[in-house]
A = this chain, B = another copy of it.
Amino acid sequence: MENFRFSMPTEIIFGKGTEKEVGAETRKIGARILLHYGSERIRKSGLFDTVVRSLKGAGVEFEVLGGVQPNPRLGLVKEGIRICREKKLDAILAVGGGSAIDSAKAIGVGVPYGGDVWDFYTEKAKPTATLPVGVVLTIPAAGSEASQSSVITKEEGNYKRPLDIGLIRPRFAILNPELTYTLPPFQTAAGAADIMSHIIERYFTNVDHVDLTDRLCEATLATVIHNVPIALAEPTNYHARAEIMWAGAIAHNDLLSTGRVGDWATHMIEHELSALYDVTHGAGLAVVFPAWMRFTFRHDLKRFVQFAVRVWGVEEDFGEPERTALEGIERLKAYWKSTGLPVTLGELGVPTDRLEEMAKRAVSYGPVGHFITIDKREALEVLKLAG
């Protein structure tokens, strides 16, 4: 186990009807806020009205900025920064999924910064101040509600880049599983693949003796694996939706990284799929991860055997552990397929004529991955295995 620092200061407010508490919670972090959201489904579902009523009831004034797209864009972030400055707003409330939250985080660090907020996403500068961000979550997937990550896409050149820093963790996050009842099956499955991927990225580490976090990872994975088919079959099953929603926050709040170093090459490669073809992040991950695993499993066979045995209940072949490891990878792939996700580039609708370009872009800031180092050649291999 490596030395680490960890805290999880985001106040999680979890359960039925909790969105009605948003006014009182928001008032604790600001009096004049930016209400930031993505899809107009927020308005159609009535959630927008509930939030507005609660904000007004708590005496919170607000400006509205909707229109966040999946793979949230830098342009809208800059628009949000402009509004916050012009109207002298002191906090941001994101209502939606990871895209709205990531966009809110970017606006938050952009407002007090003199330069271009994109500097933070290219490691040219490090944010030192932010407007506080609150969240009402509608899609369990990105884990952004309790994470220190934000991923933004710059339209010009289609660059999708992450920012990771404790400063940007939301101050509170309201998680009502009922709000996820209307998620279509594909979004439910893709969100779950995103959650699982956050765990799997952390699971494959070269740090040894990480017993507790291994088991916590396996526990969280097992919960998602068990509950997603239930939620797909019974979209209004509160219990299944609740397990997935809480697992989504745990998966990415960094508890599961404590004392270990995750990989994250798959996320970097997938970001290029999303940037060029605007595919759903979770679906892209379902395509890239099994390919990455087949590319890397010999690097630490024992870890892949553990993954197969403990997560998928594969019967261990002690004589030929490669069989066990490969069976684990196949089970993951079959599982994702069974939930309606694509598991090849073809199924994802991504042509194979720009693989070289994607491989090159994935490593444009240097090699990626910690479990094994991936440069352009290896990234291309992974993408070919995903074909």
Contact = CB atoms under 8 A, between A and B. Distances in A.
A326 interface: no
Q: A8, A212, A219, A258 — which one has the most chain B CB atoms within 10 A of its CB?
A: A212
A340 interface: no
Given A215-B222, A216-B219, A219-B215, A3 B7 contact: no
A13 interface: yes
Given A3-B18, A7-B8, A14-B258, 11 more contacts: A1-B242, A5-B13, A6-B11, A8-B8, A14-B259, A209-B239, A211-B227, A212-B223, A212-B247, A215-B223, A246-B259
Interface string A18-46: 10000000000000000000000000000
Contacts of A223: 211-212, 215
A8 B209 CA distance: 24
A226 B220 CA distance: 20
Nearest to A176: B3
Nearest to A220: B212
A156 interface: no
Contacts of A12: 4-7, 258
Copies, count: 2
A239 B1 contact: yes
A209 B259 contact: no
B215 A220 contact: yes
B11 A5 contact: yes
Contacts of A259: 14-15, 242, 246
B14 A5 contact: yes
A130 interface: no
A243 B212 contact: yes
10 contacts: A1-B243, A4-B14, A5-B12, A6-B11, A7-B8, A209-B242, A211-B239, A215-B219, A218-B219, A246-B258
A358 to B, nearest CB: 35
A346 interface: no
A380 interface: no
A17 B4 CA distance: 12
Contacts of A13: 5
B14 A212 contact: no
Interface in A223-260: 223, 226-227, 238-239, 242-243, 246-247, 250, 255, 258-259
Contacts of A8: 7-9
A87 interface: no
A353 interface: no
A216 B251 CA distance: 12
A323 B98 CA distance: 47
Given A218-B219, A219-B219, A212 B9 contact: no
Contacts of A227: 211
Report the 4 A-B pairs with minimum CB-CB distance, sorted nearest first: A3-B15, A215-B219, A209-B239, A219-B219
A16 interface: yes
A10 B8 CA distance: 8
Contacts of A320: none
